Amino acid sequence: MGEQALDFRLLNDFQRDFPLCPAPFAELAARLGVAESAVLRLLEALRRQGKIARVGAVFAPKRIGASTLAAMAVPPERLAAVAETVNRFPEVNHNYEREHRYNLWFVVTAGSEGRLLAALGAIELATGCPLLRLPLQHEFHIDLGFALDGKADKSRPPAAHRQAFVPPRPLDEFERRLVMALQEGLPLFIRPFSVLASRVGCDEREVLERIRRWCAEGVIKRFGVVVRHHELGYTANAMLVHDIPDDAVGAIGEALAREPGVTLCYQRPRLPPEWPYNLFCMIHGQIRSEVEARIDELRIRLQLGNYAHDVLFSLTRFKQGGARYA
């Protein structure tokens, strides 16, 4: 297998269903028909190139810790400075400029609701800008996996089989240490879970058992290669928002969540008069005109034309990283 083809397989095929075994990279190599050293070398190269953020866990929002989406209306001449200030907070893991009066959008994550509130207050104080707090109310689909071969994501569960939301419970000390270790991603070594175990202070078997349990419970949404969409050519990214009546938002959210190309779909609170929308979805594409056409087609086919909406294309990516719970 050529290096380019191997790159593609690693990026496309192993964003989920990563082997949770003592020597996972050897297992990947066996599936791909190459040497384990080739897999490790190419993953490290992809990480250096910025095409992958890490190999590891994507935790489900609100299953551990606390998080919220936040937005600010920043005077354009202050945007870069305010974004830099926001980026300095370790609780902020995503921070984007979008085309809207509310032009700065970021995600804040913390180990508890109290720490989250403290971080939000500190951000407002440091920037001098009031923020909209838009916490997740209902998840219809959150994954951010990208089918690079253009095929529909067959691993996406149908609506009837999606797990119901389970409120977070406090982590015990072992779990807290494991979450901290997983935030950095798997070390690219022959026995990565053994390395994690040494950091956590337990044995490899305990680490693997807990990760498998978290995956089964939905605490970890997926475990595998976490790609960086911008570096892979997905540079036309739009947040499509609607104001949907409360008695219809569930059905419409489920319908949007089933659509190929919709990588995120969830309900968040309206905050009138500043923010009248309650249903959010993200559509990632390579060309803006194609994303615009896709949005128009979705709105016509799903009969959304009577609902107020807006489209917020991403402009500057100020920060993108994994959530940090500790």
Note the pLDDT tens digit of each residue in 48-68: 988 888 999 988 877 788 899
Q: What is the pLDDT of residue 2?
A: 63
Question: Can you tell me the distance from the alpha carbon of 140 to that of 143, in angstroms, rounded to the nearest whole number?
Answer: 10
If we measure between CA atoms, which residue out of 101, 209, 225, 222 comes closest to residue 156?
Answer: 222
Residue whose token pair is 């992809």 = 46
Q: What is the pLDDT of residue 285?
A: 86
238: three-class secondary structure by DSSP: strand
Least confident piece of the model among 118-127, 233-242, 295-304 = 233-242
Q: What is the pLDDT of residue 286?
A: 87
Question: Can you tell me the distance from the alpha carbon of 2 to that of 297, in angstroms, rounded to the nearest whole number?
Answer: 38
What percent of the chain is predicted at pLDDT more than 90? 66
Show the tokens assigned to 7. Answer: 């790159």
Which of the four pLDDT bands, split at 50, 70 and 90, describes residue 326?
A: low
Contact 68, 115 (CB under 8 A): no
Per the prediction, the chain carries an average pLDDT of 88
Q: What is the pLDDT of residue 7?
A: 81
102: three-class secondary structure by DSSP: coil
Residue whose token pair is 């978290």 = 214
Q: What is the pLDDT of residue 19?
A: 95
Q: What is the pLDDT of residue 218?
A: 85
Q: What is the pLDDT of residue 321?
A: 79
User: What pTM was computed for the model?
Assistant: 0.81
Show the tokens assigned to 121. Answer: 């207050």
Pairing state of beta strands 104-110 and 66-72? antiparallel
Note the pLDDT tens digit of each residue in 267-293: 999 999 999 999 999 998 889 999 999
Note the pLDDT tens digit of each residue in 79-103: 999 999 999 999 999 999 999 999 9
Question: Can you tell me the distance from the alpha carbon of 1 to that of 76, in angstroms, rounded to the nearest whole number?
Answer: 49
Q: How many CA atoms lie within 13 A of 292 on its CB side?
A: 4
Which DSSP string corresponds to 153-219? Answer: -TTSPPGGGSPPP-------HHHHHHHHHHHT---SSSSHHHHHHHHHTS-HHHHHHHHHHHHHHTS
- For residue 233, give the DSSP letter: T
Of residues 160 and 43, more confidence is placed in 43
Note the pLDDT tens digit of each residue in 132-179: 999 999 989 866 555 555 554 444 444 434 444 455 567 788 988 999
Least confident piece of the model among 178-182, 239-243, 310-314 = 178-182
Question: Can you tell me the distance from the alpha carbon of 91 to that of 111, in angstroms, rounded to the nearest whole number?
Answer: 9
Q: What is the pLDDT of residue 109?
A: 92
Q: Does residue 261 have a pLDDT over 90?
A: no
